[in-house]
Amino acid sequence: MGLSIGDLYQKPLDEQAFRMRGIHTLTGTSAALAVVFVHSIAVTYFVGTSRWCKEVTETYKLDPEQMQRSTHLKRRTFPWCVMGMLGVVGVAALGAASDPGNGRPDTAWWADIHLGAAFLGLAFIAWTYYRAWLNIVSNQEVIQRIVDAVALIRRERGLDTDDHASAPAAAGTETPSS
């Protein structure tokens, strides 16, 4: 999008270029917020699920291996999320440095650096998303193993039976009809 703006350094008052500059800035800001939002969701997911794994492991006295695996995955994912967030902040900062509207006389050469950083940043952020995704998939496997272990314990203790699921219907409880 930035390549379609035109030359803001030679013709800074060109109305079309000025309009495209504003659209580019808003789009870049929106993209940066989206990157931060997605990485924040990943961090929040790991905070919540690792806590859940810990509580369920302690409650059912399960082998702590799965809880430790979830914590390890969280700790492996957090740096990728932070680096992705910082990467988009870096691209945005270079964009701000290249803006001729910031009043500095030497902004034109920053545009090439911003362009290169945008392409590298896009690839890097995609990589951080990929790494987080792999860890989320691994964590889902951990959660499933914990759920399976809890289901087995509950069946062994007689806590989950089909009688409980059908108890209201078996007792003759009827739903009101209209």
| Predicted local confidence at residue 124, as pLDDT | 98
Give me the pLDDT at residue 166, please.
41
Contact 39, 62 (CB under 8 A): no
Predicted pLDDT at 108? 79
**Per-residue pLDDT at 106:** 81
- Residue 6 has which token pair? 């035109």
Task: Confirm if 9 and 107 have CB atoms less than 8 A apart.
Answer: yes
pLDDT of residue 12: 58
> Do the beta carbons of residue 6 and residue 97 sit within 8 Å?
no
> For the chain, which residues make up each domain, given as ranges?
32-158
Alpha-carbon gap, residue 58 to 73, rounded angstroms: 19
Neighbours of 136 (CB within 10 A): 16
Query: Which pLDDT score is estimated for 164?
Result: 47
Would you tell me how many other CB atoms lie within 10 Å of the CB of residue 120? 13
Check: CB of residue 132 under 8 Å from CB of residue 77.
Answer: yes
CA–CA distance, 118 with 122 (Å, rounded to integer)? 6
pLDDT at 11: 62
Contact of 92 with 32, CB cutoff 8 Å:
yes
> pLDDT tens digits, the chain, 178 residues: what are they?
666 665 666 665 677 777 888 888 999 999 999 999 999 999 999 999 999 999 999 999 999 999 999 999 999 999 999 999 999 999 999 998 888 877 777 887 888 899 999 999 999 999 999 999 999 999 999 999 999 999 999 999 888 755 544 444 444 444 444 4
Helix (H, G, I), strand (E, B), or coil: what is residue 160? coil
What is the per-residue pLDDT for 107?
Answer: 81
